[in-house]
Chains A and B, each alone.
Chain A
Amino acid sequence: MAEIVSLAEAVERAIHDGDAVAMEGFTHLIPFAAGHEVIRQRCRDLTLIRMTPDLIYDQLIGAGCARKLIFSWGGNPGVGSLHRFRDAVEHAWPAALEIEEHSHAGMANRYVAGASGLPFAVLRGYNGTGLETLNTHHDSAPTIKPITCPFTGETLTAVAALRPDVAVIHAQRADRAGNVQLWGIMGVQKEAVLASRRSVVTVEEIVDDLDPRPGATVLPTWTVSYVAHVPGGAHPSYALGYSVRDNDYYVAWDAISRDRDEFTRWLDERVYAVPAGLA
Chain B
Amino acid sequence: MTRQASIDPAAAGELVYTADEMMTVAAARALRDGMTCFVGIGLPSAAANVARATHAPGLVLIYESGTIGAKPTELPLSIGDGILAETADAVVSVPEIFNYWLQPGRIDIGFLGAAQIDKFGNINTTVIGGDYDHPRVRLPGAGGAPEIAASCREVIVVVRQSSRSFVERVDFVTSVGYGSGPADRERLGLTGAGPKKIITDLGILEPDPVTFEFTLTGLYPGVSIAAARERTGWDLAVAADPEIIAGPSSVELDALRNLQVSSLDR
Contacts and interface: CB of A to CB of B under 8 A. Distances in A.
B140 A81 contact: yes
Interface string B104-142: 000000000000000000000010000010011111111
Given A90-B135, A127-B188, A129-B176, A185 B99 contact: no
Interface stretch (B6-14, B72-80, B201-209): B72-80
Interface residues of B, number: 54
A277 interface: no
A134 interface: yes
Interface string B180-191: 000010001111
A155 interface: yes
Contacts of B190: 127-128
Given A51-B94, A127-B188, A27 B81 contact: yes
Nearest to A78: B77
Contact of A155 (B80, B176, B189): B189
A52 B41 CA distance: 14
A52 B94 CA distance: 12
B85 A104 contact: no
Interface in A42-86: 51-52, 71-75, 77-79, 81-82, 85-86
B57 interface: no
A248 B76 CA distance: 12
A103 B81 contact: no
Contact of B141 (A27, A72, A127): A72
Contact of A105 (B42, B76, B82, B103): B103
Contacts of A186: 66, 91-94
B140 A134 contact: no
A124 interface: yes
A154 B189 contact: yes
Given A72-B141, A128-B176, A137-B132, A78 B65 contact: no
A111 B94 CA distance: 11
Given A104-B144, A245-B78, A245-B81, A185 B138 contact: no
A191 interface: yes
B85 A184 contact: yes
A186 B80 CA distance: 10
A101 to B, nearest CB: 5
Interface in A87-139: 89-90, 101-105, 108-109, 111-112, 123-131, 134, 137
Interface string B63-101: 011110000000011111110111000011111001100
Contacts of B145: 103
B82 A245 contact: yes
Contacts, number: 174
A155 B144 CA distance: 21
Main secondary structure of the interface of A (DSSP, over half): loop
B172 interface: yes
A147 interface: no
A210 interface: no
Given A127-B176, A154-B189, A247-B81, A89 B144 contact: no
Contacts of A26: 65-66, 80, 94
Interface string A17-40: 000000000111000000000000
B150 A127 contact: yes
A238 interface: yes
B95 A188 contact: yes
A95 to B, nearest CB: 15
A8 B111 CA distance: 43
Contacts of B42: 78
A163 interface: no
Nearest to B123: A129
B140 A247 contact: no
A78 B143 contact: no
A207 interface: no
B195 interface: no
B173 interface: yes
Which of B94, B144, B191, B266 gathers most chain A CB within 10 Å? Answer: B94
B140 to A, nearest CB: 3
Contacts of B98: 104-105, 108-109, 123
A125 B82 contact: no
Q: Taking each of A28, A137, A215, which has the highest tally of chain B beta carbons within 10 Å of its own beta carbon?
A: A28
A110 B172 CA distance: 23
18 contacts: A27-B65, A27-B79, A27-B80, A74-B138, A74-B141, A77-B77, A77-B79, A78-B78, A103-B144, A104-B147, A105-B146, A105-B147, A123-B99, A128-B190, A184-B91, A185-B66, A188-B94, A240-B82
Nearest 3 A/B pairs, CB to CB: A27-B80, A75-B140, A73-B143
